[in-house]
Amino acid sequence: MQISESVGLAIASVKANKLRSFLTLLSISIGVFAIIGSTTVVDSFNTMFSDQLAQLGSNTFMIRKFPAMMMGAAQWRKYMKRKDITYEQAVIVREHATMGQTVGTFIGDAQLVKGNGNTTDAPIGITGCDENYFLNNNFNIDGGRQFTSEDVLYKRDLAILGSDVVTRLFANMNPLGQSVSVGTKTYTVIGVCAAKGSAFGQSQDNFVLIPITSYLKYYSNEWETSVSITVRTRSIATMDDETDQIVGSLRTMRKVQPWEDNDFEIMSNDSVTSAFENLTQYIAYFAVGISTISLLAAGIGIMNIMLVSVKERTREIGIRKATGATRSNILTQFLIESVTLCQLGGAIGIVLGIAAGDGLAAYLGTSFVVPITWVLLSVGICTLIGVAFGVYPAWRAALLDPIDALRYE
């Protein structure tokens, strides 16, 4: 019997036993759905995260007190013991950057913002920064101007707004020259940043920027005082040398001994992306592990439906053997039917998984992806389940005595 005929018989069996087949295919579909859905979301997040970091440029890195990701309270306590990176240290780092780097400094937290009689719906990002923050973090000014070195030096009470804040506080009016209140302090708006859109379902335009010196003057006793340093090097080719210069300068100021590790974190695009992908990969592996249990249960269902099929088609098997079919022919036929059932369920799970995963990704503002590797792996897993759980029923069918099979009623 040809493979196409065996596939046709498998599909005919599904149609003839709709409820039984539906329940069997459902269990396979759920397992594959969980694998494809979770990996689609993970791949979407990884792609979006990489795209967001790519906007900063591959020759940009950051220095801060804490790593990008921490696991558990123990790690948090470990890094909390580190000394803060002070603004004075950041200024000295910038002065010692003699290889053409652009060094920026920032610090931030969240606070309610008021303006024009309106208030933000929830606390939003308040960032104190210097004039180099815009270049190093790829912020463009859509109206007005950015901070100057004099604004930072003289601690001027100025603010630059994200486009969402403008929409919320100053709808249908020009925000430039208007006042906004952050806590108990009032700032004059001098600029509006160009919109960046959303990422991971969160707006990237819901923030207020103020000079870092003003931030530290009014809020340093209330909010954390460790600053972050961003460095844009001249090129990728010189990045290692320029990074070494910055790190060496900071280690000297913080009195880190030559044999001691850095008491601060250096985060480049590659290191942050790698840390994020490792985190999301664990999530994917957990989902795959849970899905595997579902697929094993589905395999038992496949074995059951194939055993029932063998019993129902005993007379057919006897006729085929009487007309020349070998044990190998019978074995192959039922194995193909078993694999076909698994692939039907797997195909449904793949389609639903991609649709659900990309639907969630679209809602969160991440990229549309198809996890090809996991799709192929799912196809392979379904094939393996079809063979592993179909071989026993197929072997029972192949061993049937043709005379007894023909007598079966």
Per-residue burial over 154-193, b if 16 or more Cβ lie within 10 Å, else e, is: ebbbbbbbbbbbbebbbeeeebbebebebeebebebbbbb
Residue 257 pLDDT = 86
| Distance of alpha carbon 370 from alpha carbon 355, whole angstroms | 10
Banded model confidence at residue 215, pLDDT cuts 50, 70, 90: very high
Q: Give the single-character DSSP code of 262.
A: P
405 pLDDT higher than 60? yes
Largest CA distance in the chain: 102
> Which DSSP symbol is given to 17?
T
Residue in the block written with tokens 């759980």? 389
Q: Are 310 and 397 in contact (CB under 8 A)?
A: yes
Q: Residue 214's pLDDT band (boundaries 50, 70, 90)?
A: very high
Q: Within 10 A of 341 (CB to CB), how many other CB atoms are there? A: 29
Collapsing DSSP to helix, strand or coil, 351 comes out as helix
Please state whether 364 falls in left (phi above 0), alpha (psi between -120 and 50) or beta: alpha
Residue 211 pLDDT greater than 90, yes or no: yes
- Is pTM beyond 0.85? Reply is no
Nearest to 231 by CA among 96, 110, 39: 96
Q: Which residues contact 217 (CB under 8 A, 6 or more apart)?
A: 155
Q: Cβ distance 346 to 21 under 8 Å?
A: no
The most confident of 149-153, 285-289, 305-309, 376-380, by mean pLDDT: 149-153
25-28: which pairs have CB atoms within 8 A and are 24 or more residues apart? Answer: 25/341, 25/344, 25/345, 25/348, 26/345, 27/294, 27/295, 27/297, 27/298, 27/301, 27/345, 28/295, 28/298, 28/301, 28/302, 28/341, 28/342, 28/345, 28/346, 28/348, 28/349, 28/382, 28/385
Q: Encoding tokens for residue 170?
A: 């100053």
Q: Which structure tokens are listed for 25?
A: 């295919």
What is the overall mean pLDDT for the chain?
Answer: 80
| Count of CA atoms in the C-beta half-sphere (13 A) of 145 | 8
Predicted pLDDT of residue 153: 92
| Inter-residue contact 199 to 211 (CB < 8 Å) | no
Which residue has tokens 């023909």? 406
Predicted confidence (pLDDT) per residue in 228-256, tens digit: 888 888 877 777 888 888 888 888 888 88
Phi, psi of 110 (to 5 degrees): -125, 145
pLDDT band at 26 (very low <50, low <70, confident <90, very high): confident
Q: How far is CA 403 from the centre of its chain?
A: 61
The terminus-to-terminus CA distance of the chain in angstroms comes to 24
Q: Where are the alpha helices (DSSP H) in 174-268?
A: 212-219, 239-253
Nearest to 168, CA basis, from 109, 123, 214, 107: 123
Query: What span, in angstroms and rounded, lies between the C-alpha atoms of 336 and 361?
Result: 36
| CA angle at 133 for the pair 127 and 138, rounded to the nearest 5° | 105
The most confident of the ranges 97-101, 120-124, 301-305 is: 120-124
Encoded tokens for 122: 């929830």
- Half-sphere CA count of 168, side-chain side, radius 13 A: 22
d(CA 237, CA 128): 31
Q: Which residue has the higher pLDDT, 21 or 151?
A: 151
| HSE toward the beta carbon, residue 84, CA cutoff 13 A | 10
- Residue 277: the pLDDT is 64
Distance from C-alpha of 69 to C-alpha of 235, rounded to nearest angstrom:
27
Q: Where are the domains of the chain?
A: 3-51+275-407, 83-263
- The answer to whether residues 82 and 263 touch, using CB atoms and an 8 Å cutoff, is yes
